[in-house]
Amino acid sequence: MAHLSLTNVGKTYGGSAQAAVADVNIEIRDGEFIVLVGPSGCGKSTLLRMVAGLETITQGEIRIGERLVNQLDPAERDIAMVFQNYALYPHMSVRDNMAYGLKNRGESKAVIEERVAEAARMLELRPYLNRKPRALSGGQRQRVAMGRAIVRQPSAFLFDEPLSNLDAKLRVSMRMEIRKLQKRLGTTSLYVTHDQLEAMTLADRLVVLNGGRVEQIGAPLEVYRAPASTFVASFIGAPAMSLLDANVENGQVMLDGHALAPVAHEAGPVTLGLRAEDLRITPGGVPMRVDYVEELGAQRIVHGFVGEQALAIIDTSEAPLPETVHLGVAPSRVHLFDARTGRRIETASQPVAVPAE
Amino acid sequence: MQKIKPLDHLILILGALFLCVPVVMALMSSTHAAIDIHSNGLYITPGSHGAETYTKVLTSRGGFTGDVTGLLMLTNSMIMGLGFAVGKIVLSMMAAYALVYFRFRFATLIFWAIFATLLLPLEVRIMPSYQVMSELHLLNTYTGLIVPLLASATGTFFFRQFFRSVPDELLEAARIDGAGPVKFFIDVLVPLSKTMMSAIFIIMFIYGWNQYLWPLLMTTDESFFTLMRGIKSILQVWVGSQIPDYNEAFALAVLAMVPPVAVVVIFQRMFIKGLTESDK
């Protein structure tokens, strides 16, 4: 157990002018579950592998506990990693897979036996201890990979997209298990995923990465409620937040010539962010031409156009829709971004603090 | 059910006969007396001299020194075959390990240089090889027989391709588990390569077993005679009115066939087992 601190961490591959990861500063508290999330190629796996010691660190410092680990071998960093394809040793039984790291560290037989038994009990792997990985299902292999991490009793767990090889149903149940396990063990964890849903449900705090840089760090709801940039806004939440070109005139956001909501911001062009779930169909509002409807049972997602700009809203009624509907939104749910930089514009009408649900 | 097609079967039967009949003939002829073979040609039916021919071949002392028995030649061939197979596997695995897992400059270039030696068979470099062994005073030793031919481009190539197919995560997991280069090689790569090793073992054992030219050059001492040379020397006695001991030559040929067949049978099982069971 330890806290983890990344200071100005960066990585530039030899022969490449552009940094794959740059200026990452994260302070991770002891026992915290941090999720690194971003699209493929954003550097999240590289960052994780730098913490693990599988990639060299070209700038900055990584500390695990109080130890500077920049120059240490992976085995000396006191971490355990769970890989996307599990990376179990195919010729070893489940028991040996879990025990291998401990054997290499010269733990006594009794200690190894005890820890493997404990991990097997926790992960319900006891009936499979003598099987080879190939005789296990995907979910069981994933458990073994986690078992291998647990028996080490490391300062930190590193997860590299551990659920992406599982089918959708198993992914949901494994997600819960990982969360519960981490809570019970209280081990600091760093988890990489490209799935925003996984990120939202698992994290104590999210780190949204884009192009090797941190876009935003915050609790899932904070990030959801107040995305720091258009990138975060479009990445977190499903369906994605609609981003539209709009104007502020006379203290009103004007969308396609119609006033949508009052805002305290100087006049000029802005990027307007609207979450589908915040929009309501109201009589008299901004007119939207309905394009198509996705029925999801409990709700439906209505896709349409305001002027020439695409927009999605979630509607819970089942009444047939006219060709044109009118939209309204609570002023507190309007997100404004700088039209040029894409950074969030804080306005007085938007409470930054997350209201209790 | 698939329909049985007579023509297909005919072709298969003919093919099988084409391959089997010479072997059966050698086996059958070896049980007849030399004189009968000389006058009547090859036999396809068993004769009555089988036991005595094989006993004689295995135990009777021959050669110029009168010390060479079939058993000795069999042992020598065995040493050659096993030495080749084991040596080549060890050497080419280590070479491939270095090429794949150690980051050094020109690794690819070195690999292709090794690969290019496939174009140079033993016969091309036999003079310099002989010279080196002669100056190291390794003529007439097992070391001299085996070591110069151990470097194997084929083996290195196979193992390199295999190691490259091993997922990188396995190496990374091992690094996190605290396994150094040697531990990773022995604990992970070697067990994973079992299938590959048995395949190479089959090929290399037979390659070593069948060596003729190299032992002929390297050894003048008859106690290093291999079976291949023994067969040849039996047929070399055609001087004057002497009849070559055809039956003994056939018996030796049959004996020479047994170990390679055994190796193929034993390792093919492992080979197939490895192929069907491994699932990554």
Rounded to the nearest angstrom, the minimum Cα separation between A67 and chain B is: 17
Per-residue pLDDT averaged across B223-237, rounded? 76
Which pLDDT band, with edges at 50, 70 and 90, does A112 fall under? very high
Predicted TM-score (pTM) of this structure: 0.80
Domain-embedded: residue B99 = yes
Whole-number pLDDT of residue B60: 73
Instruction: Indicate the number of domains in chain B.
Output: 1
What's the rounded mean pLDDT across residues B153-166? 90
Given a cut of 50, whether residue A41 has pLDDT beyond it is yes
Nearest to A125 by CA among A185, A60, A59, A177: A177
Q: What is the pLDDT of residues A125-176, one digit of tens each?
A: 999 999 999 999 988 999 999 999 999 999 999 999 999 888 888 899 899 9
DSSP 3-state of B44: coil
Distance from CA of A119 to the nearest CA of B (A): 16
A62-86 confidence digits (pLDDT tens)? 999 889 999 999 999 999 999 999 8
Res A351: pLDDT: 46
Which of B202, B167, B193 is closest to B274 using CA atoms? Answer: B193
CATH code for the domain in which residue B206 is found: 1.10.3720.10
Mean pLDDT of chain A: 89
Of the residues A55, A69, A83, the best mutation for testing chain B's interface (the one with the most B CB atoms within 10 Å of its CB) is: A83
With CB atoms and an 8 Å threshold, state whether A104 touches B178.
yes
Let me know if A19 is exposed, middle or buried by CB neighbors in 10 A (0-12, 13-18, 19+).
Answer: middle
* Predicted local confidence at residue B96, as pLDDT: 93
Which residue does chain A place closest to B188, by CA atoms? A89
Q: Is there a cis peptide before residue A239, judged by omega within 30 degrees of 0?
A: yes
Other beta carbons within 10 Å of B108: 9
Nearest CA in chain A to B171: A87
* pLDDT tens readout for residues A253-277: 888 888 888 888 888 899 999 999 9
Which chain B positions have a beta carbon within 8 Å of A83's beta carbon? Answer: 169, 172-173
Confidence of residue A348 (pLDDT cuts 50, 70, 90): low
Question: Does the interface ipTM go beyond 0.90?
Answer: no
Note the pLDDT of residue A357.
39
Angle at A160 between CA A156 and CA A165, to 5 degrees: 135
A198 token code pair? 């996984």
* B53 within domain boundaries: no
Q: What percent of chain A stands above pLDDT 90?
A: 62
- Which whole number is the average pLDDT over B117-126? 82
Work out the average pLDDT over B219-247. Answer: 74
pLDDT classification of B228: cutoffs 50, 70, 90 = confident
Has residue A95 got a pLDDT over 80?
yes
The pLDDT of residue B238? 54
Minimum mean pLDDT range among A124-128, A238-242, B66-70, B149-153: B66-70
B275 touches chain A (CB under 8 A): no
Domain that holds residue B72: 64-277
Q: For the ranges A119-123, A179-183, B243-247, which has the lowest average pLDDT?
A: B243-247
Q: pLDDT value at position B236?
A: 62
Mean pLDDT, residues B262-280: 70
Query: What fold is seen in the domain A240-345?
Result: OB fold (Dihydrolipoamide Acetyltransferase, E2P) (2.40.50)
**What number is the average pLDDT over the span B121-144?**
87
> How much is the pLDDT for A354?
44
Report residue A330 as tokens. Answer: 């609570």
Across the range B40-46, mean pLDDT stands at 83
DSSP string, A79-132: EEEE-TT----TTS-HHHHHHHHHHHTT--HHHHHHHHHHHHHHTT-GGGTTS-
Report the residue from B170, B176, B191 with minimal CB separation from A75.
B176
Dihedral, CA atoms, B36, B40, B45, B50, nearest 10 degrees?
20
**CA closest to B172 among chain A residues:** A54
Give the pLDDT confidence score for residue A156 in this predicted structure.
Answer: 93
What mean pLDDT do residues A179-203 have?
A: 92
Q: Which of residues 154-173 of B touch A (CB under 8 A)?
A: 167, 169-170, 172-173
Q: Where exactly are the structural domains of chain A? A: 4-230, 240-345
**In this predicted structure, what is the pLDDT of residue A352?**
46
The overall average pLDDT reported for chain B is: 84
Q: Looking at the domain A4-230, which fold is it?
A: Rossmann fold (3.40.50)
- Span B51-107, pLDDT tens digits: 888 888 787 776 666 677 788 888 899 999 999 999 999 999 999 999 999 888 888
Q: How far A45 CA lies from chain B's nearest CA (Å)?
A: 13
